[in-house]
Structure 1
């Protein structure tokens, strides 16, 4: 989590722009780590939608990195996800975007830059990148 926070710096929420957060997340995503030799051991997730987790419904852009953790025998034990969530006030335009998610896995042989480019070419990204977030949450969880 500290590496992602280092890429983000310490901006005030008022100074955040989704494009800057996205580029910081991609810098974090380009770093390679020693992980188990399995197809889904190191993945990046781009997802958005309207959710009501801890209060009223809000539009959330969640950028996450998932790492597989093995036990002492080398067997899958759990995953750790490092999240960078941008929250936005709910508007009809954002609600109309619905929800979407896309995974990238380093071990799958796909190209990270092509995956990222494809996401930024989505019409939804055009709408999201122009907005000012109202919240930034960076956290880690075991899943």
Structure 2
């Protein structure tokens, strides 16, 4: 989590002033770092998702940037995942709610190209709509799943 927070600070924006573009650039920098993970295709993944959700609080349009790591037990068998997320909340602008929901995964050891995936995500028509709004809240957190 500290590495993602450091990448967010690299954008030279106080967290309260982060916008979608700054958060995305920081997340991709964080995503380029490789870690010692199990040798499975889904051991190190990045998730971009958006939609209107109520995660234990008021309903809001949310963009979530998540990195997921697989954790294995002593025998090398799957135990659980750890997710490190940057959650951008935008309130409930009708234009954002109209986007519906979307999610896209990238996995490092699947043969896919990170730059290609990042380009596909940021070239979606919804990206321009989302980028036109400033988040009203930003939260960085880590959780086991």
User: TM-score per shorter chain, which class?
Assistant: over 0.9
Runs of 4 or more consecutive aligned structure 1 residues displaced over 2 Å after TM superposition:
none
Scaled by the length of structure 2, what TM-score is found?
A: 0.95
Quote the Cα distance in structure 2 between the aligned partners of 1:62 and 1:24. Answer: 13
Partner of 1:88: 90
On the 8 A contact 2:15/2:138 being kept in 1, the answer is no
Partner of 2:31: 29
1:4 lines up with 2:4 in the alignment: yes
Quote the Cα distance in structure 2 between the aligned partners of 1:6 and 1:41. Answer: 23
Scaled by the length of structure 1, what TM-score is found?
A: 0.96
Q: Which runs of 5+ in 2 are unaligned?
A: none
TM alignment of 1:118-133, pairs within 5 A: 118-133=120-135
String of CA shifts for 1:93-115, please: whole Å, max 9, x gaps. Answer: 11100000000000001000000
1:49 lines up with 2:35 in the alignment: no
String of CA shifts for 1:11-67, please: whole Å, max 9, x gaps. Answer: 141x21110110000000000011000110000000000001223210000000000
TM alignment of 1:58-137, pairs within 5 A: 58-137=60-139
Quote the Cα distance in structure 1 between the aligned partners of 2:88 and 2:53. Answer: 12
Q: 1:4 to 1:133 in 2, by over 3 A?
A: same
Q: Which runs of 5+ in 1 are unaligned?
A: none
